[in-house]
């Protein structure tokens, strides 16, 4: 391995240009005015397990209940939908559009049997909260010693 000290030789820079561009894109430091590459959108989800249920919180800003589908089948919870492009984005004189639009689908295999008839969904401030109760036989029980 050749040590160039602190010097950045032209071949070193050229070989790493794609990596530099990748960092610029993710760090928001690009200076060339290039468009960002097309990205798919996957909403972030937190999953919490309590003694009696699973609680999933998904960030879905700008989406209505009509844009979201929730299914539960064979202990697999599926969250899907589509964030549509705002009408004024197509007609405006934008210099940059970084928010991602389009369809998404997330599936979560739940480790215990759940009570599908009592799942609750609530949306507030762009966060969808799903409460999936565990089936009675899957809940921990205290066993008394006789």
Q: Quick one: pLDDT at residue 141?
A: 77
Chosen CATH of 45-138 out of 3.40.430.10, 3.30.360.10, 2.60.40.790, 3.10.450.350: 2.60.40.790
For the chain, the structural domain boundaries read 1-37, 45-138
- Among residues 121, 34, 35, the alpha carbon closest in space to that of 77 is found at 121
Report pTM: 0.66
Mean pLDDT of the chain: 80
**β-strands 120-124, 68-73 pairing:** unpaired
H/E run at residue 133:
strand 127-133
Q: Which two tokens stand for residue 74?
A: 């064979």
Q: Whole-angstrom Cα distance, residue 142 to residue 130? A: 27
DSSP 99: S
Q: Tell me the pLDDT of the chain (146 aa) as tens digits.
A: 444 455 555 555 556 666 666 666 666 555 455 554 556 789 999 999 999 999 999 999 989 999 999 999 999 999 999 988 776 655 667 777 778 888 999 999 998 889 999 999 999 999 999 999 999 887 777 888 98
**Structure confidence by residue, pLDDT tens digits, 61-102:** 989 999 999 999 999 999 999 988 776 655 667 777 778 888
């Amino acid at each position: 391995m050749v040590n160039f000290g602190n010097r950045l030789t032209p071949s070193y820079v050229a070989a790493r240009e794609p990596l530099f561009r990748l960092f610029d894109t993710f760090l928001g430091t690009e200076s060339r005015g290039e468009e960002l590459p097309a990205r798919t959108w996957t909403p972030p989800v937190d999953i919490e397990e309590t003694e009696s249920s699973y609680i999933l919180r998904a960030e879905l800003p700008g989406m209505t209940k009509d844009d979201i589908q929730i299914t539960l089948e064979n202990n697999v919870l599926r969250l899907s939908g589509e964030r549509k492009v705002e009408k004024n984005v197509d007609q405006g004189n934008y210099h940059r559009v970084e928010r991602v639009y389009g369809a998404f689908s997330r599936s979560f295999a739940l480790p215990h049997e759940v009570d599908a008839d009592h799942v609750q969904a609530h949306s507030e401030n762009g966060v969808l909260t799903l409460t999936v109760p565990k089936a009675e036989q899957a809940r921990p029980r205290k066993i008394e010693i006789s």
